[in-house]
Amino acid sequence: MTNKFAIIKTGGKQYKVSEGDTLDIEKVITTDGILNIEEVLLTNDGEVVKVGKPTVKGAKVEAKVLADFKDKKKMVFKFKNKTRQTKKKGHRQPLTKIQITKITA
């Protein structure tokens, strides 16, 4: 068994992924349901580790888009003490669930 993984960057965040993983990322728009991520920061195929400066040349990660959805609601509450002024607001972040199908280095 090889410990093949990659570190990718998408939506301003970095994720450690291997083939078969499912993860929730910031919303991306695709037409055919396949997402190609070219911002690969590090790859490891079990034998050789390649570190990019800032990205690994020629490396990409293919993923299948499973669903678009919204995250749980996060509440924002502001309160001013002496005037009893309050403001309550909610936010639901749009996310995309993907499954990693192939890592090429």
The pLDDT of residue 1 = 43
Number of structural domains the chain divides into: 1
Read off the pTM.
0.83
Residue 62: exposure state from Cβ atoms within 10 A (0-12, 13-18, ≥19): middle
Tens-place pLDDT, residues 34-68: 999 999 999 998 889 999 999 999 999 999 999 99
- Cis link prior to 94 (omega < 30° from 0)? no
Tens-place pLDDT, residues 65-102: 999 999 999 999 999 999 989 999 999 999 999 999 99
**66 lies in which domain range?**
5-104
Find the helix or strand (DSSP H, E) in which 103 lies: strand 94-104
